[in-house]
Every structure is written in structure tokens, then in C-alpha cells.
């Protein structure tokens, strides 16, 4: 069983035990503002191998490398002016930049799946402090079995991976609730590789230009974790529901009028006020709760595609995708 340490009650113990565990090459459950990560030393091949094994993740899918700040990131990757501007505006925060890797970076090729680029993010709060104390970047995918719903609490991590890891740091519920937004600057254009916890419109405001949302196949190769079935609960998922069918949980956004709500197995409200940030923060926990009812299907009412709605709908489409 994994040991839990509450980082608010015992911050110093958390730093000491976590740095010692990471130095042994073991992955830990790490709270970030987006989702909980399964974090390990990005320079240690044995440690990275343990991340892939613990998650059952395909090794061609590169990991995001987390840094304490922009100065640290610049030691590992080469920044173009637009990427630097975005880093200065949004780090620490839910933005991942894909950048050319420095040849002498020390980040192990297993972390980048052999690519000549690296996805870098500077997380808010405790995770950044831990990386500063550890002194090396942490590779960290979301702390869940590959293809399943991401973890937004220490209990989610424990339920899924508790038998396979030794340490989970607990900071309560992740405030953002969906993974970071991933962009890559190429020839002065900003490509959105994954919508996430930073709204695309925020990036466009700072960059002063529109993001390229590429639907072309290369996006599948560059962000392979983003394709096909992912974020999958045990139940089937039905989107844009306007009614409730037999044996369904209903998850609502806003206060929609949904026919047959009274016969739903359960009704959960992502945000009665129609606040997309609140909905994002609740999303994965509600999917797990809906799944735990044993209902055959989880029906979602319509969620607008603006702001964080783009990331929410991206996750829901993957959750609803045909499974292998």
C-alpha cells in the first residue's frame, strides 16, 4: 500500500520523503493544479520505465517534463520568442510548451519517446517547490492506468495505482481538474496539440494571434495519447443528451431541461451556474462517481465549446469513443 502524506499538514516531511523516493528511481503520486501526476526523475531511465509499467502506457507516447521555473526550463530546451512570451505569461500554470530539446539536456530519451522535442510545464504550488528541492525535472503523466479517467484527488490515485506505488502526496482536489493545454510553436504559428486547463482564447490574447487547430494526421503522431478511446469509464458515454434512457446516470451542465430526469440512476450537476471552470474541476470525479453506480451509460447534457468547454468536450468525445 502507498504511504500518504498531507502536504499542507506536513510540507517538510513531504519534501524529504518525496525527494528520497525520487532519488531511488521510484515514481510518486504528485498533486498539481491540473490533475495528479505519476512523477519520476526525467533523467533516470529506470525511473521512467517504472512510469510506463505502472500506467501500462505505450512507450511511443512521450511524457511531459515538469520544471520549477522558466530558468530551469531554458537549461533543457530552446525557446523561440513566442514560446518565451507564453511561458512568462502563464507559468507556473496549466500550459505545456513543446520545444526543441537541447542535445546535452540529460533528459532521458525514454521520457521523450526518442523525439527531438520535449513537452515542458511549470506546475503551480507544491509540485514546483518539490522540483526545486530535487533539482532535476520530473516526468509526469496523469496518475491513472493508461486509457482510464485521470486522477484529481489522492484517493483517485490510491484506488487506481495504490498497489503499484509507495508514496502519494495529498493536496486535496486539483483546482483546475483537466490536464494542461499543449501548444507547439512552428514557423511563427502556434499549434494547439491538446486543449486543456488554459483556455485557447487566453493564449490567443497574449500571443496576439489565432491558434492553429490541426486536424491532420501528424497531430496524432505528435500527441498520440490524445487519440482514440481515452478517459474511458466502465460505463458507455452518451453526449448532448436531451432525455434520459433506461439505466443511465445524468450529468448536467447549467440547468438544462432534460426529459425523464426523474428516472435517472443518479443526477450530478457539473455547475448549476453554467461555470465552465467549476465544471472542469468536477469532471473526472463525477465521471468516477457516475461509473461507481454501475449504471450502463453516463449521459451528459450539452456543454458549450468555448473557454474550458473545449477541453471538457475533448475529454468527453474520447470517453465516448469506441473502445478497442
* Site string (140-159) toward Mg ion, x via CB under 5 A: --x-----------------
Residue with Cβ nearer ligand TXA (27 or 37): 37
CB atoms within 10 A of CB 299: 26
Of 74-82, 138-146, 255-263, 268-276, the window that binds ligand TXA (rule: CB under 6 A) is: 138-146
Q: Would you state the cell numbers that stand for residue 1, as one nine-digit string?
A: 500500500
Distance, in Å, from the CA atom of 32 to the CA atom of 95, rounded to the nearest integer, reads: 12
* Site string (55-74) toward ligand TXA, x via CB under 6 A: ------xxxx----------
* Best CA proximity match to 41, nearest among 61, 60, 67, 15: 67
Buried residues in 240-278 as b, exposed as e (16+ CB within 10 A):
ebeebeeebbbbbbbeeebeeeeebbeebbbbeeeebbb
Alpha-carbon torsion (45, 167, 133, 34), positive or negative: positive
223 is a site residue for ligand TXA (CB under 6 A): yes
Phi-psi region of 187 (alpha: psi -120 to 50; beta: other; left: phi over 0): left
CB of 240 to ligand TXA, least distance (A): 25
- Comparing every residue's Cβ against Mg ion, the nearest one is 142
CB of 111 to ligand TXA, least distance (A): 8
Distance, in Å, from the CA atom of 237 to the CA atom of 233, rounded to the nearest integer, reads: 8
117 is a site residue for ligand TXA (CB under 6 A): yes
Strands of the 236-238 sheet, one edge to the other: 236-238, 297-300, 248-253, 266-271
Which of ligand TXA, Mg ion, none does 182 bind, CB closer than 5 to 8 A by kind? ligand TXA
193 is a site residue for ligand TXA (CB under 6 A): yes
174 is a site residue for ligand TXA (CB under 6 A): no
Which of Mg ion, ligand TXA, none does 61 bind, CB closer than 5 to 8 A by kind? ligand TXA
Q: Where are the alpha helices (DSSP H) in 143-275?
A: 154-161, 200-207, 218-222
Options 21, 32, 153, 271; binder of ligand TXA; rule CB under 6 A: 32
Residue with Cβ nearer Mg ion (142 or 181): 142
- Asked whether the beta carbons of 99 and 78 are under 8 A apart, the reply is yes
Provide the angle, in degrees to the nearest 10, between the axes of the packed helices 309-320 and 276-292. Answer: 20
Options 108, 121, 156, 191; binder of ligand TXA; rule CB under 6 A: 121
Options 21, 34, 282, 297; binder of ligand TXA; rule CB under 6 A: 34
Of 109-117, 138-146, 194-202, 250-258, the window that binds Mg ion (rule: CB under 5 A) is: 138-146
Residue with Cβ nearer ligand TXA (45 or 294): 45
Q: Where are the alpha helices (DSSP H) in 70-217?
A: 70-76, 81-90, 109-112, 126-134, 154-161, 200-207
CB of 224 to Mg ion, least distance (A): 11
Distance, in Å, from the CA atom of 95 to the CA atom of 30, rounded to the nearest integer, reads: 17
Cis peptide before 46 (omega within 30 of 0): no
225 is a site residue for ligand TXA (CB under 6 A): yes
Q: For binding to Mg ion (CB under 5 A), which residues are involved?
A: 142
Site residues (CB under 6 A) for ligand TXA?
A: 32, 34-35, 37, 61-64, 96, 98, 112, 115, 117-119, 121, 123, 140-142, 179-180, 182, 193-194, 222-226
Amino acid at each position: 500500500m502507498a504511504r500518504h502524506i498531507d502536504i499542507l499538514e506536513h510540507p517538510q516531511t513531504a519534501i524529504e520523503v518525496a525527494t528520497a523516493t525520487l532519488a531511488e528511481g521510484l515514481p510518486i503520486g504528485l498533486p498539481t493544479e491540473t490533475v495528479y501526476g505519476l512523477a519520476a526523475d526525467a533523467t533516470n531511465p529506470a525511473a521512467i520505465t517504472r512510469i510506463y509499467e505502472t500506467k501500462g502506457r505505450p512507450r511511443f507516447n512521450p511524457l511531459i517534463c515538469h520544471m520549477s521555473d522558466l530558468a530551469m526550463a531554458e537549461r533543457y530546451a530552446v525557446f523561440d520568442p513566442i514560446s518565451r512570451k507564453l511561458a512568462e505569461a502563464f507559468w507556473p500554470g496549466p500550459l505545456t510548451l513543446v520545444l526543441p530539446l537541447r542535445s546535452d539536456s540529460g533528459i532521458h530519451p525514454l521520457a521523450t519517446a526518442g523525439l527531438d522535442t520535449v513537452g515542458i510545464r511549470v506546475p503551480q504550488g507544491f509540485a514546483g517547490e518539490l522540483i526545486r528541492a530535487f533539482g532535476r525535472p520530473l516526468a509526469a503523466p496523469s496518475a491513472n492506468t493508461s486509457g482510464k479517467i485521470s486522477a484529481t484527488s489522492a484517493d483517485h490515485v490510491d484506488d487506481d495505482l495504490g498497489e503499484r506505488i509507495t508514496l502519494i502526496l495529498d493536496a486535496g482536489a486539483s483546482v483546475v481538474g483537466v490536464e494542461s493545454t499543449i501548444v507547439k510553436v512552428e514557423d511563427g504559428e502556434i499549434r494547439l496539440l491538446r486543449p486543456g486547463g488554459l483556455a485557447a482564447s487566453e493564449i490567443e490574447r497574449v500571443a496576439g494571434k489565432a491558434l492553429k487547430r490541426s486536424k491532420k494526421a501528424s497531430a496524432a503522431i505528435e500527441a498520440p495519447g490524445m487519440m482514440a478511446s481515452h478517459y474511458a469509464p466502465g460505463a458507455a458515454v452518451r453526449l448532448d443528451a436531451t432525455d434520459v434512457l433506461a439505466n443511465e446516470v445524468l450529468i448536467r451542465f447549467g440547468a438544462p431541461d432534460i426529459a425523464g430526469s426523474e428516472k435517472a440512476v443518479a443526477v450530478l450537476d457539473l455547475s448549476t451556474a453554467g461555470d465552465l471552470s467549476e465544471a472542469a474541476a468536477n469532471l473526472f470525479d463525477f465521471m468516477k462517481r457516475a461509473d461507481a453506480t454501475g449504471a450502463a451509460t453516463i449521459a451528459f447534457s450539452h456543454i458549450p465549446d468555448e473557454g474550458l468547454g473545449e477541453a471538457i468536450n475533448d475529454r468527453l468525445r474520447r470517453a465516448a469513443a469506441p473502445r478497442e
